[in-house]
A and B are shown apart, each in its own frame.
Chain A
């Protein structure tokens, strides 16, 4: 029982509990806050795995901007408490049981097949550093990086166009209603 194992166990418990909390809480704002904690915990796992750049991107992009966007939309719509509909009562249990079966399969496979028991060694500190990531991103993966920028621009334009609503006479959403 090394200290790293204890830390990993604690982080894993927090990850699973926050995911369960997101799944089970009735209030959507609580779900979002649980998910923020989940992302932050996974960021700590990234640091353990020797990926500091990805870890900080995780905190700023995921736990920061994406979840703020979620919270903003939840509060804007006032949709934090929806009355639960009971139409899928039976399917709910089937989903949970099938999920449990899948997790059991994966874990049994991992521990009885024994292929993945090799330890994750300590990567050199230069592997996941911002300098290494940036160099790789702008040399080997320059074209995918530019495509990513194009995707973000398209998504931004699309989001703005979708939410402008009835103010535009040529809005794609409202066109068929007129």
Chain B
């Protein structure tokens, strides 16, 4: 199990940036949500890696909390998606521009 910590940090950074690019580039709101989950996951990987590095349980507990909050966020977010789709018949983010000044 002797992997340098830097490898985990690098992998987590790559995952996080892929998530950011997904949020910035994709127009499908559901895929944007999935990219968000990818970013959560990158942060969680970092938490668990440092938890093993320092031999402390706190990181894993925090990952547990992040997961539950992510589940709540996905539930509310998908409900919003369904409601937006009902009124606008599309979830293309470019078409949600009614509040543009």
Contact = CB atoms under 8 A, between A and B. Distances in A.
**A, B bound:** yes
Interface of A: 2, 4-5, 8, 12, 15-16, 19-20, 22-23, 28, 31-32, 35, 38-39, 42, 45-46, 48-51, 53-54, 57-58, 61-62, 65-66, 69-70, 73-74, 76-77, 79, 82-85, 87-88, 91-92, 95-96, 99-100, 102-103, 106-107, 110-111, 116-124, 127-128, 132-133, 136-137, 140-141, 144, 148, 151-152, 154-156, 158-160, 162-163, 165, 173
A162 to B, nearest CB: 4
Interface residues of B, number: 69
Contacts, number: 242
Given A151-B69, A152-B71, A45 B53 contact: no
Interface of B: 1-11, 13-15, 17-22, 24-28, 30-31, 33-35, 37-38, 41, 44-45, 48-49, 51-53, 55, 57, 60-61, 63-65, 67-76, 78-83, 85-86, 90-92, 94
Contacts of B26: 23
Given A15-B15, A54-B60, A122 B1 contact: yes
B50 to A, nearest CB: 9
Contact of A31 (B20, B31, B51, B68): B31
Contact of B83 (A62, A79, A99, A165): A165
A31 B40 CA distance: 16
A82 B79 contact: no
Contacts of B74: 66, 69-70
Contacts of B72: 151-152, 154-155
